[in-house]
Structure 1
Amino acid sequence: MDDYESKKFIAKSENITIGELLDIWAEEELKTGTLSNGTVQNYLGAITNIKKHPISERKLKNVTSEHLQAFFDLLSFGGTYPDGSERKGYSKDYIRSFSAVLQQSFRFAVSPKQYITFNPMQYIKLKYQTDEVDLFSDDDMDGDIQPIPREDYERLIEFLQNYNPPAILPIQIAYYAGLRIGEACGLAWQDVNLEEQCLTIRRSIRYDGSRHKNIIGPTKRKKVRIVDFGDTLAEILRNARKEQLKNRMQYGELYHKNYYREVKDKTEFTMSSIIWTEQRMFQKIIRKYPLSA
Structure 2
Amino acid sequence: MSRTGENIYKRRDGRWEGRYIRTRIGGKAKYVSVYGRSYREVKKKLEDAKTKQEKCNTKAEKAGKMADIGNSWLSEAALFLKKSSINKYEDILRCYILPEFGENELSEITNQRLISFANALLTNGGARKQGLTATTVAEIMSAMNGIRIYALRKEYEVGFSPECVNLKKEQGDIRVFSLEEEEKLLDYLQKNMDLPALGILLCLYTGIRVGELCALKWDDINLLEKKMSVSKSMQRLRINAVSGSKTEVKILEPKSACSVRTIPLPDTIIELLEEFHTPGAFLLTGKSSRFVEPRTMQNRFKKAILSCGIQDANFHATRHTFATRCIELGFDVKTLSEILGHASVTITMNRYVHPSMAHKREHMNRFSNLFAVR
When normalised by structure 1's length, the TM-score is 0.45
Say which structure, 1 or 2, has more relative contact order (CA 8 Å, 6+ apart). 1
Bigger Rg, structure 1 or 2:
2
